Each structure stands twice: as structure tokens, then as C-alpha cells.
Amino acid sequence: MAFVTPDFVPAIPEIFVLGMACLALVVDVYITERYRLFTYQLAQSTLVASALMVIFLYPAEAVVTFNGTFVSDGMSTVLKVFILLVSYFVFFYSKQYLRDRNLFRGEYYVLGLFAVLGMMVMASAHSLLTIYLGLELLSLSLYALVALNRDSNEASEAAMKYFVLGALASGMLLYGMSMIYGATASLDLAEVYRVASGGQANDTLLVFGLVFVVVGLAFKFGAVPFHMWVPDVYEGASTSVTLFISTAPKLAAFAMAMRLLVDALPSLHGDWQQMLIILAVLSMAAGNVIAIAQTNLKRMLAYSTIAHVGFLLAGILTGTQSGYAAAMFYVIVYALMSMGGFGMIILMSQAGIEADRLDHFKGLNERSPWFAFIMLIFMFSMAGVPPFLGFWAKWSVLRELVAGGVVWLAAVAVVFSIIGAFYYLRVVRLMYFDKPEDATPITPGRDMRVMMSANGLAILGLGIYPGGLMAVCVSALGA
Amino acid sequence: MLPDPFPLLSLVVWTPILGGLWVLLAAGEKNAPTARAIALAISVATFLLSIPLYTQFDLSTHEMQFVERFEWIQTFGIYYHLGVDGISMPLILLTTFITPLVVISAWQVIQYKTAQYLAAFLIMEGLMNGVFAALDAILFYVFWEAMLVPMFLIIGIWGGPQRIYATIKFFLYTFLGSVFMLVALIYLYAQADSFAILDLHTVKVGMTAQILIFIAFLLAFAVKVPMWPVHTWLPDAHVEAPTGGSVILAAIMLKMGGYGFVRFSLPITPDASRELDWLMIALSLIAVVYIGFVALVQTDLKKLIAYSSISHMGFVTLGFFVAFSILEGTGSLQGAAMGMEGGMMQMISHGFISGALFLCVGVLYDRMHTRQIADYGGVVNSMPIFAAFMMLFVMANSGLPGTSGFVGEFMVILSSFKANFWFAFLAASILLLGAGYNLWMYKRVIYGKVANEGVASLKDINARELLILGTLAAVVLLFGVWPAPILEVMHPSVENLLQHVVQSKL
């Protein structure tokens, strides 16, 4: 077999991020504390430049390269753009927070860039091996990020927990992949698809593999009953890292689910639909109910994430193109809202104060009416109240469930949304109806104020006109 | 050059919403007088804008008028589609009429975060107009739900001691009801391939599905009306809400439930409505009679009026759903139309009367800071003018002929006679019970010995309060002796509605 030079063009953004991450690593070693901001700026410009490249290289139709291990298509493009955008905001929100805590080191941004690279690879993976490669690159970077605050016992504990459970999940995933490989004799997703849907594979083996793959996916998503790590890691990690973990990686996990279940194994839709239904119902139930009992906002949002994952899986399990588009819309909206929610915790935290308890939000309307309003947008949006963006995310998933004939699941989903509304309302209640414990005004920097407001108003504005973003998702999946 | 068609409804919906934002941004918290001035100007301007809806209204047709239709979310076939007929137009006017009064009533009373308070009311006004004007089911739902947000804040921030419990209960109850409606609407979309409410009116749906859809709608609307047994949020919300909040709740929000029944339940699921009309009639009569008794024993002024509202709203639903028995018994479309028009008349009239009564309680509460009936007595001695106004509204609330409260009640009772004597008998008990709780309350508060020092030193209503109560009194009397302007507007639309109702959608 002669060596053919692969077409590098579709992977230019990834190659660029890799190069820049290495460059940032080297540069960071040589600059003094005073110029630390340079690493940050380097990372941010990498994200922006890479996003422009992704948009510029948008392929008219799917391009597969590197011997069928890498694909660039509509879905990967859209997801990568949002992964980069969300990461940009995450890095931005974290800047002052890390400074105040003496954590403003190059490692955060270098590891962050590697994680971004991992996510981009996952979005574009076209072989079982590439999926795993991207996933591990992401996960290992995240384990290290969680442990970034090495003097904190909670952070170390969270990192350990995350690592052990994450490794277990990766093991499951890998085991499942090996069975799929055994059944189809290929790592290439297109080939897996061909063999599996052609009925030439051993079905028992394939379904067995599917079970493990779904378990691995559920771990990465944090779907019940594989959610145990989520609240502890969210709480233990420093908020800037939680912010990162809770947003962009969910986009990548969505990509992974789409590649594995939809691109490779649509012929087993009946099987994985059953599994996803169980995961979705349990996640919505447990996430929403347990969130009510939380007093720590980070834990509460962790359980809220679990509930959102349930909704997201409900979109995927419909098994239609428009259902996938709804799920993709949901995950993007979720990332934007979660970014805002954790961003608000960062904004409220000042040097020496971690505003991660619900009580910290008491009387925010007296301290800063504007940011109380922004947080109100995030909370009502997560609760799924129109006209905020979160409503449309729920709406599009419900619509697909009804269209797909699973009306009962739609009914279950709305019942748990009502339960969920309670704890989001509680945050609004604390901000608006209670008196502040400490009446010092909130004084974030001007740039933070602008970005946070942009984040909040985007949720409101896109909620009033959601058509554009929906259309992007629909066309990305060719539905 | 005016755009053609002139976007009158959009103006009525968006002027207050944008005006509310303007109040927030321009006035801020430090400048309450500016906030009040802007809010009053905006609310009056909205009222003036809404007047052409009546004067330019074409009485000869049931078609939607002032229609605006633009593509909103192309991917999913959702339109920004507004329009009014004889059913929704009076409700929009009611909303734009009540809001300025609410703004005026807040003039001195609300000192804490005045701008936010006024902005919340203005935004809510726009959203409520949107609910009545929306002709796209999803647009309707968006307005319907969005409205909860300002109301949640109004009760929670400016309410009484138990406000947090009350407002969360209010939100969750209404949210619970509405989400099932959303699922039902999506299901209907799958059948009709359109979210236009008028298209949904003609879609064929099987019986089982109709019943499920009817129940989903019932959950949404019954909570809003509120019907027994899902009424328990209302007394809490009313008691804890600030005066303005109570007025809007009673005068307009409750009407959305009734509006929902005539816009969605009856025309979309007529067969299920016919099948389940016994349930609706039973629930309505329980509301009328049982809640009437409950109102009798209240010791809190606001609670009493809240229960009286539930009891009166029972009349509205009775008027809507008694139509099926009339049609079955006598085949008289006219009789059925009278029930429906009576129900709708009752909605409008109750909007004025309950709003006025809550404002009366507000007048007392601002002076005495208590709502307990026992704390009052002999108010007439220090507030004669107020006592006269309150007498009028209390009488109107008990359905005295010559006031608007009489018209609707009389029409509903008359039409339920055609259906079944016992329906009419039980419904008519409201006249007795209503007179009982209203007049007894009035006697204890206004007459008798001067209860205490506080009552003795009460000052009579000032010019601002006189303006509010005087306007409402004029309207109550006007529609009491001359209800034709409302009835003739409704008539073609109700006839058309009945055509949909008699036609099986199976």
C-alpha cells in the first residue's frame, strides 16, 4: 500500500490549535509573571483565528480525509464554532477570577487549548480511534485542570474522583468499541455503518458493544445513573474550571454521541433508543428532583445539567434528522446558558469570596439590578419560560418527541420541567425578594460587565428571534 | 405615509413593553416621579391607541380584523400573526383601560423600587394584549407564559408577608397548567401542519385524542380561570399581591382562562367538550355555590373578594359549557349564544367590578394597613364619598340590575334555564349568596359604630382616588344600562364560534 499524502486542508484549524498550544506552552515558560497576560492573549487569539478558519473552510459537503479517520461536515463545523466561541467566553470570564486566587498561570490556558483541540477532534472524528483520541485528550486535560488549584483539598479530591470514574468510563467505551470492531472488522465509521446495516455483522456482539458504548457516553454526558461524578467535580473544582467542564465538553459529547450512534449504528436505532429513553427519563427525574435539595449553587447547576442532558438525549433518541437538529440546538443553547450561570458565580466572586452558595445571591436586585436581571434571564431560560432561548430548546425537543410518536415522553419531560422550575425560581426569589446579607455593590471590571451582559442579552435576543440559530442547526445536519 | 395595513395591534402590544424598558432605563430607581410620568403617559397612550380597535371595528363580520402576519421562525412554520375578533377585542380594551388606573393607583403607595414596579406592569400589559391578539398558537403560548415573569416579580417583591409562598405557588400552578397545553398544541400541529389558531379550528381529531387535548387545555385554562378544585392559588396570590397586582390578576388574568376556553377548547375539541360538558358544568356550579359559601365566612377583605371572583368566574364557564345541553334539549342556537355572550359579558363586567373592589380595599389598606374586616367599622362616618362608591361596586358585585354585573349573570341564568332547571336554580343561588357576602361585608366595614381611633381619623378619598373610582363607577353603570356596545361586537363572533361547536371534528 503506497503512502498517500492526506488532504490536510479540512484539519487546518486543529493543526493550528495544536501548534499554538505548543507555542503557548513554550512561551509561558520564558515569560515572567508580569507578562502572564500574554499567554492569555495568545490563547484567545488562537481561538478566534481558529474559529475563523473553521468558518472559512466550511465544506459544501462532507469531506473525509486521513484515510477515513477525520471528517469535516456541517455538524462538525457548527459544533466547532460554538466550542471555540464558548471557550473564548470561558477563558475570558476566568481571567480575573484566576488572578484573584493566584491561579493565573499559563497552565490553565495551555491545558484549555489542548482540551479545545480534543473537542475539535471529537467533533470531526470519523473512526473509533479518532473518537477515543479526542476524548482522551479532552479528558486528561480536564483532570489536570480540576486539580489546578493544588493547595485545595476539595479540588484534589474532585480531580481524583473525576480521573478514576473518567478512566472507568473510557475503559467501558473502549471495550464497547473493541466489540464493535470485532463485529464489523473496521474502525472507520462509514465501514462500520456499511457492515452493520448490511446485516453482515454478528448482531449479539454488536448490541453488546453498543451497550458499553452507551454506558461510556452516559458517563461523559453525566446522565443518570452514571452521573455520580458530576456534582462532586463541579463543586470541588474552582469555578473557572467548572465553567469550562459544564459548557464546551457537552458540545463535544454530543458530537461523539452523534458519530457513534447516528453515523455508525443507525441500524441499531431500536436498541439504543430504548437505552436512551431510560437514561433520559432517569436524568430528568433525578436531576430535577435532587437539585431542589441543594444549597450550593454549583451543585444545583450540576444537577440542573444532568436534567438538561436528559432533555438532550430525548432529542437524539427520536432517530430523525430533525430530532438530531433539535438536540443540537438544545446542547448549544444549554452551553450558552450554563456559561452564563457559572459566569455569574464568577462575577459575584471577589478576592477571597466564593459566591457559590445560594445565599450569596440574596438581594442581588438591591446590590446590582442589572446583573440580577441578567441572572434572571439565565434562570428563567433554564426553566424553559418563554421568551427566553431555553424555552425554544425545550420546545424543539418536545416537538420532535410528539412528531416521533413518543408523546408520553414529552409529557414526562414537561412534568419534570415543572419540578425543575421550582429551583430556578428559588434563585430569582433570593435575588429579588430577599434582603442582601452584605450590601456592597458588585463592581466587576468593565470588560467583564460587557461580556456578561452580551451573554445574557443574547439569551433574550435569540429567544425573541430563535429562527436563525435553529436554521443553522437544521441545515448543519442536512435535515 | 402610513404602512398598510397599519400595525395597530403591534403598537398596542409593543408600546407598553418598550415603554416599560424605557421606564427602567430612563428613570432608574432614584427618579420615581419621572418613572411615574413616563409610565402614565405610556399607559394612556396605549389606551388611546387601542380605541380605534373599537371605532374601526367591522360589526358585520366574524372574520379576524386588523390582521398582521409575518414569518417569524421559518424553520418551524411559526408566524407573528395578530388579529382580533369580537371575542378578543373587548378584552384588549379592558386591559388597556385598566392599566392606566393601576399606574395611577400606585402613585404614592409604591415607594420601593417604583420604576421596576411600573415597568413590570407596563410589560405585563403588552404581554396580555399579545395573548388576546395572537392568532398563532405558539405566539399565544409565548405571551401566555412570558406574562408569568412580571407577575411573579410583582407579587414577590411588593406583596404582603406571605408573598414568597404565594408567588411561587402562583407561578408553579400556572406553569403546570400551561405546559400540557404546549404538548397539546404541538400534537395539533402534527395533525394540521400549521400553528395558526384558525387552522386548528378546522382540523379533524379522533375522540381519544380530543379528550386528551381537551384535558390538557382544561389544565391550562382551569388553573387560570381558576375553577374549583385548582383555585387555591388565587386567594393566596390575591391576598399577598400589592393592590395593582390584585387588580390585574382579577380584572384581566383570570379572563385569559375564559378566553382560552372559547378560543381553543370549544372550537378545537367540540366533541370532547360535548362529551365532558357535565364535568365542566359540575365544576362551575361547585365554584358558584361552594365558593360562594366560602366567601361568606372570610375575615379578610381581599380574600373575600378573591373567593367572590372564583364564584363569578364559575358563571363564565357555566355560560360557555351550558350551550351543549341547550342545543341538545331545544336545538336553539340563540339560547346557546346567549349563554356564551352572557359568560363573556360577565368576564368584562367582572374585570371592572373586581378591579374596582380591589382598588377600594387598597384605599382602605393604604390608610389602615390592615385587611381584616374586624378592624373596620363605621368607615362611613369619616369617608362618606368612599362609602358611596364602595356601595355601588358591592351592589354591582351582587348583580344589582342597572349595573354591569347584572347583565351577564342574568343572561347566563336565563340560558341555563333552557338547559336544565336545576342548573339555573343552583346558578341563581349566586344572587342570594353574593348579596349575602357582599352586603354583610359592607355592613361590617362601612356601617356600625366607629371601630377604633384609626377609623375615626380616616381621611376621605383624594382627587386621584376619586378619578380612578369615578371612572370605574361610570363604566359599571354605563354597561349596566346599555350593554349593547359590547354585545353587538361579540355577536357575529359568537355565532361563528357556535358553528364550530355544533360541527363534529371527528
Over residues A136-165, mean pLDDT: 91
- Pick among A378, A432, A464 to test the B interface (most B CBs inside 10 A): A432
The amino acid at B277: D
**pLDDT (0 to 100) of residue B251:** 87
The pLDDT tens digits of the residues spanning B65-109 come to 888 888 888 888 888 888 888 888 889 999 999 899 888 888 777
What is the arithmetic mean of pLDDT over A337-341?
92
Whether A138 has a pLDDT exceeding 50, the answer reads: yes
ipTM score of complex:
0.88
C-alpha dist (Å) from residue A109 to A14, A22, A136, A342, B56 = 16, 11, 18, 18, 64
8 A C-beta contact, residue B136 and residue B44: no
Exposure string over A101-118, b if 16+ CB within 10 A, otherwise e? bebbebebbbbbbbbbbb
pLDDT exceeds cutoff 80 at A236: yes
Which residue has cell 430528568?
A284
Residues of A in contact with B76 (CB under 8 A): 396, 399, 470
pLDDT at B28 over 80: no
What is the end-to-end Cα distance of chain B in Å, rounded? 48
* Total Cβ atoms within 10 A of residue A206: 21
For residue A251, pLDDT beyond 90: yes
3-state secondary structure A284-304: HHHHHHHHHCCCEHHHHHHHH
B254-282 pLDDT per residue, tens: 888 889 998 888 888 888 888 888 888 89
Apex A405 CA angle, A404 and A411, nearest 5:
105
As beta bridge partners, residue A64 has: A71
Grid cell locating B428: 341563581
Which residues does chain A have within 8 Å of residue B146's beta carbon, measured at their own beta carbons?
Answer: 385-387
Percent of chain A predicted with pLDDT > 90: 47
CA separation, residue A340 to residues A48, A86, A378 (Å): 20, 10, 7
> Across residues B286-310, what is the average pLDDT?
88
Q: pLDDT exceeding 90 applies to what percent of chain B?
A: 7
Under an 8 A CB cutoff, do B186 and A399 touch?
yes
Mean pLDDT over B135-140 rounds to 91
Q: pLDDT for B185-219, tens place per residue?
A: 888 888 888 888 888 888 888 888 889 899 999 98
Q: CB distance A425–B171 less than 8 Å?
A: yes
Strands B78-84 and B65-73 turn out to be antiparallel
- For chain B, the residue count is 506
State whether residue B65 is helix, strand or coil: strand
Contact check, Cβ <8 Å, B145/A391: yes
Over residues B459-470, mean pLDDT = 87
Residues of chain A with Cβ-Cβ distance to B167 below 8 Å are 429, 433
Cβ proximity of B288 and B391 under 8 Å: no
Rg (C-alpha) for chain B, rounded Å, is 22
- Residue B7's Cα: distance from chain center in Å? 25
Q: Which three cell numbers, joined as nine digits, stand for A309?
A: 442532558
Three-state SS at A161: helix
- Give the residue-averaged pLDDT of A82-97: 92
Closest CA to A110 of A56, A31, A10, A221: A31
Helix boundaries (H) for A198-296: 203-221, 229-236, 239-246, 248-257, 269-292
Q: What is the pLDDT of residue A62?
A: 84
- Has residue B1 got a pLDDT over 50? no
Supply A331's cell numbers.
Answer: 446542547
Would you state the pLDDT for residue A340? 92
User: In 10 A of CB A443, how many CB atoms?
Assistant: 11
Q: What is the reported pLDDT for A21?
A: 93
pLDDT at A468: 87
Q: Cell triple for residue B349?
A: 363586567
d(CA A54, CA A227): 32
Q: Which of B273, B291, B277 is nearest to B231 (CA)?
A: B291
Residue type, A68: G
B444/B120 Cα distance (integer angstroms): 35
Please work out, in degrees rounded to the nearest 5, the angle formed at the alpha carbon of residue A88 by the alpha carbons of A85 and A93.
130
Look at residue A254 in the predicted model and tell me its pLDDT: 93
User: Which of residues 440 through 479 in chain A touch B, CB cutoff 8 A?
Assistant: 465-467, 470-471, 474
Q: What integer is the mean pLDDT of A397-405?
A: 88
Of B142, B136, B174, B140, give the one whose Cα is nearest residue B155. B174
B86: nearest Cα among B486, B407, B500: B486
Span A425-442, pLDDT tens digits: 889 988 888 888 777 777
CA-nearest of B358, B117, B101 to B247 is B358
Q: Is A9 on the interface with B (CB under 8 A)?
A: no
Q: Tell me how many degrees the CA angle A92-A94-A95 measures, rounded to the nearest 5.
A: 70
Residues of B within 8 A of A396 (CB-CB) are 76
Is pLDDT above 80 for B5? no
Residue-level pLDDT at A212: 94
Specify whether the CB–CB gap between B302 and B358 falls below 8 A: yes
**DSSP assignment letter at A260:** I
**Cell digits of residue A157:** 479530591
Average pLDDT over residues B404-428: 85
Locate the chain B residue with the closest alpha carbon to A470: B75
The whole-angstrom separation of Cα A328 and Cα A413 is 17
Q: How far apart are alpha carbons A183 and A69 in whole angstroms?
A: 19
Asked if A385 has any chain B CB less than 8 Å from its own CB, the reply is yes
A418 and B179 in contact by Cβ < 8 A?
A: yes
Per-residue pLDDT at B2 exceeds 60:
no
Look at phi and psi of residue B282 and say left if phi exceeds 0, alpha if psi is from -120 to 50, else beta. Answer: alpha
Write down the pLDDT at residue A1.
56
* pLDDT above 80: residue A336: yes
Nearest to A471 among B75, B145, B186 (CB): B75
At how many degrees (to 10) do helices A248-257 and A321-348 cross?
160
Does this model's pTM top 0.80? My answer is yes
Q: In this predicted structure, what is the pLDDT of residue A351?
A: 66
pLDDT score of A3: 74
pLDDT digits (tens, 9 = 90+) for A32-65: 878 888 888 999 999 999 999 999 988 888 888 8
A395 touches chain B (CB under 8 A): yes
- Please give the Cα distance from A345 to A297 (Å, whole number): 8
Band of the pLDDT at A306, cuts 50, 70, 90?
very high
Segment B486-497, tens digit of pLDDT: 888 888 888 888
Count the Cβ atoms, other than its own, within 10 Å of residue A199: 8
Q: What torsion, rounded to 10 degrees, do the Cα atoms A458, A460, A462, A463 define?
A: 160
**Range of weakest confidence among B42-51, B197-206, B465-474:** B197-206
A280 close to A221: Cβ distance less than 8 angstroms: no
The whole-number pLDDT of residue B29 equals 66
Q: Could you give phi then psi for residue A417, rounded to 5 degrees? A: -65, -35
- What cell numbers appear for B376 in the block? 373596620
Distance between CA A88 and CA A52 in Å, rounded?
A: 13
pLDDT tens across B348-387, in order?
999 899 999 999 988 888 888 888 888 888 888 888 888 8
Residue A64 in 3-state DSSP? strand
Which band of pLDDT confidence, cut at 50, 70 and 90, is reported for residue B401?
confident
* CA-based nearest residue to B91, from B497, B506, B494, B490: B490
Q: Count of residues for chain A?
A: 479
Average pLDDT over residues B110-128: 86
- CA–CA separation, A142 and A146 (whole Å): 6
Tell which residue, B244, B268, B278, has the closest CA to residue B188: B268
Confidence band for A77, pLDDT divided at 50, 70 and 90: very high
**Cβ density class B285-312: b for 16+ within 10 Å, e for less:** bbbbbbbbebbbebebbbbbbbbbbbbb
pLDDT digits (tens, 9 = 90+) for A254-273: 999 999 999 888 888 888 99
